[in-house]
Amino acid sequence: DTGVSQDPRHKITKRGQNVTFRCDPISEHNRLYWYRQTLGQGPEFLTYFQNEAQLEKSRLLSDRFSAERPKGSFSTLEIQRTEQGDSAMYLCASSTRTGLIYGYTFGSGTRLTVV
Amino acid sequence: AQSVTQPDIHITVSEGASLELRCNYSYGATPYLFWYVQSPGQGLQLLLKYFSGDTLVQGIKGFEAEFKRSQSSFNLRKPSVHWSDAAEYFCAVVKSYSGGGADGLTFGKGTHLIIQP
């Protein structure tokens, strides 16, 4: 088990372009979370999946953002028509149902820079 | 809603000195609390967590934290810091509970730890 993997590690894009990030959670983890972290801030919750079902979306997740987890395994986060304010680190985390006991495992993140 | 406050944005400590990072939470019931560390450009690594039992929790890398309900605090401590401890430290509380489990974390804004030689 190699932990939570995120791809790409870095992404530079021009304003207005679409970008997609991928997260591969730990294989036996059925819960998957996306967070956004801007400079000097703590991570902020974006959305949460239990298996393939997206159970909660933060108000931070505007209609330009969409996340999927089609087969309950990997997840993608797409940002359409990127804006400079979207520049941030996007973190993925996964957990089992007992995440309270074993904690949440985070990936290394995808750093997005919108120019 | 749960919230977490880390009052210190930056803390500078000499190598070998003791460390205490403060964390205060706001939550009505017994909270589930975590401390994570983040090195530059990296993801978050779990240091320790509290959800019940002994209020003094031991973690990795020689860190410990004490849960004090009366003060709504969960301060992180280390008796002697090493230069490699320089990083960003985040306190977090479980955001809410549903379906028999939790659905994510609410983080504080972090404390940047600087180690002086």
Is pLDDT above 60 for A26?
yes
Confidence (pLDDT) at B96: 66
User: What is the distance between the alpha carbons of residues A49 and A46, in angstroms, rounded to a whole number?
Assistant: 11
User: What is the distance between the alpha carbons of residues B44 and B22, in angstroms, rounded to a whole number?
Assistant: 18
> How far, CA to CA in Å, does A74 sit from each of A18, A71, A77?
19, 7, 10
Using DSSP's 3-state secondary structure scheme, residue A85 falls into helix
Confidence (pLDDT) at B109: 95
Residues contacting residue B103 through CB under 8 Å, at least 6 positions apart? A31, A33, A48, A55, A56, B95, B96, B97
Residues found in chain A: 115
Confidence (pLDDT) at B102: 56
Considering only the beta carbons, identify the residue of B32, B90, B110 that sits closest to A100: B32
- A27-77 per-position pLDDT tens digit: 988 899 999 999 889 999 999 899 999 988 888 889 999 999 998 899 999
| Mean per-residue pLDDT over chain A, rounded | 91
Confidence (pLDDT) at A64: 96
- Contact A43/B41, CB-based, under 8 Å? no
User: Consecutive 10-residue runs of chain B (117 residues): their mean pLDDT?
Assistant: 90 97 86 91 89 90 95 96 96 71 81 96
Q: CA nearest B91 in A: which residue?
A: A42
Smallest Cα distance from B105 to chain A, Å: 7
DSSP secondary structure code for residue A40 in this structure:
T
Percent of chain A with pLDDT over 90: 71
Is pLDDT above 80 for A98?
no
Confidence (pLDDT) at A99: 60
Confidence (pLDDT) at B31: 83
> How far, CA to CA in Å, does B65 sit from each of A50, A82, B56?
30, 40, 6
For residue A40, the tally of other CB atoms under 10 A from its CB is: 10
Q: CA nearest B44 in A: which residue?
A: A106
Confidence of residue A104 (pLDDT cuts 50, 70, 90): confident
Confidence (pLDDT) at B15: 97
User: What is the distance between the alpha carbons of residues A11 and B9, in angstroms, rounded to a whole number?
Assistant: 28
Is pLDDT above 80 for A102?
no
Place of tokens 């079902």: A53
Interface of B with A (CB under 8 A): 4, 32, 34, 36, 41-46, 49, 51, 90, 92, 94-95, 98-110
Residues contacting residue B93 through CB under 8 Å, at least 6 positions apart? B2, B3, B4, B25, B27, B31, B32, B33, B34, B105, B106
